[in-house]
Amino acid sequence: MHCCHLSSSPRCFQTGCMRLPRSINQFLSVRSVHLLTKGMAIIVLGIVLLGIVPAGASAADLQLVCTPAKLRFGTVVVGQSQTLLVALTNNGQTSVTLSGITVGNSALTTSYLSLPLVLPAGQSVGLNVSFTPAAAGWTYGKITFSSNASNPTLRLEADGTGVSGQSVTASPSAVSFGQVAIGTVSTTPVVLTNARSYRVTISADQVIGSGFSMSGATFPLTLGGRQSVTVNVGFAPQSAGTTGGELLFSGPQLVIPLTARARLRVNLRPILQAWLSAARRSEAI
């Protein structure tokens, strides 16, 4: 094992493999600073100077984040495509310049973004990611975003399974709520149909994504041959911005992509009343 020997000569502070500037050495050479304190100072300086990110850093500490953090396409018929929406958000206090997008699997594609793209603080941009399996089987890939954010490399994981045919289909196969005002609820019916001539059991359901919900059916649920059931998918936004989610059904491994854009609800009535009152007072003068 190689051991670095500490030396505090008058000119520099040396670890055996790194020489620090004279000013730092003078700071560390103060007699009241103990050896342990010097070691902690070196660690802090390494983090600051070398850009080391602590291993325990959470998503809340990242400046550039993806929503959702991982894409699960479920089962997709070979040769067909499934598309999910990803929101890239700048959680920092300064703008971020997105300079590159790299897709690590040919079965995955992204919608076009004109790069470099400047994303102001607190703003988001939507990106469509599509999965088109060329053969049956499970597929995994990563999409890498390069920027000048505090986390300059952001990786989005995605997986899906190519199948020869779906046992349960959904109509519509994807739900887009468009713009929905904060404080309101938008609902869209989705029809699940057993495409087989024999019974198929949907063992469970899961809703992923902030503000999304589902009602109208209780699982596990068994559908007879060619039988259908209707579920209601809702969206009740709590904050403004682009949102993506998924509705997952275990058993047939069916995934329904969900997209929406929340907007602030503007109440024009007080403004109109104030304008009318001002107009009446003006006429009375």
What DSSP state is assigned to residue 275?
H
| Cβ atoms of residues 256 and 170 within 8 Å | yes
Q: Quote the pLDDT of residue 106.
A: 96
Q: Quote the pLDDT of residue 53.
A: 38
Asked whether residue 190 carries a pLDDT value surpassing 90, the answer given is yes
Phi-psi region of 148 (alpha: psi -120 to 50; beta: other; left: phi over 0): alpha
| Cβ atoms of residues 180 and 188 within 8 Å | no
Side chain identity, residue 203:
S
The dihedrals phi and psi of 166, each to the nearest 5 degrees, come to: -90, 135
Side chain identity, residue 191:
V
| Cβ atoms of residues 51 and 150 within 8 Å | no
Give the mean pLDDT of the chain: 80
Q: CA–CA separation, 152 vs 147, rounded Å?
A: 5
Q: How far is CA 221 from CA 192, 201, 217, 229, 250, in A?
A: 11, 6, 8, 9, 11
What residue has token string 């102001």?
A: 120
Lowest pLDDT segment from 82-86, 259-263, 276-280: 276-280
Q: How many CB atoms lie within 10 A of CB 257?
A: 23
Q: CA–CA separation, 131 vs 143, rounded Å?
A: 12
Lowest pLDDT segment from 55-69, 148-162, 183-197, 229-243: 55-69
Average pLDDT of span 36-65: 50
Asked whether residue 41 carries a pLDDT value surpassing 90, the answer given is no
Asked whether residue 130 carries a pLDDT value surpassing 70, the answer given is yes
Average pLDDT of span 140-165: 94
Higher pLDDT, 236 or 266: 236
Asked whether residue 125 carries a pLDDT value surpassing 90, the answer given is yes
Peptide bond into 257 cis (omega under 30): no
Q: Quote the pLDDT of residue 209.
A: 87
Strands 96-103 vs 64-67: parallel, antiparallel or unpaired: unpaired
Q: CA–CA separation, 37 vs 31, rounded Å?
A: 11
Q: Let me know if 49 is exposed, middle or buried by CB neighbors in 10 A (0-12, 13-18, 19+).
A: exposed
Q: CA–CA separation, 164 vs 169, rounded Å?
A: 13
Domains of the chain, earliest start first: 7-50 (no CATH), 61-165 (2.60.40.10), 167-265 (2.60.40.10)
Q: Quote the pLDDT of residue 267.
A: 66
**Each residue of 15-25: pLDDT tens digit?**
444 444 554 44
pTM, two decimals, is: 0.58
Q: CA–CA separation, 236 vs 249, rounded Å?
A: 21
75 three-class SS: strand
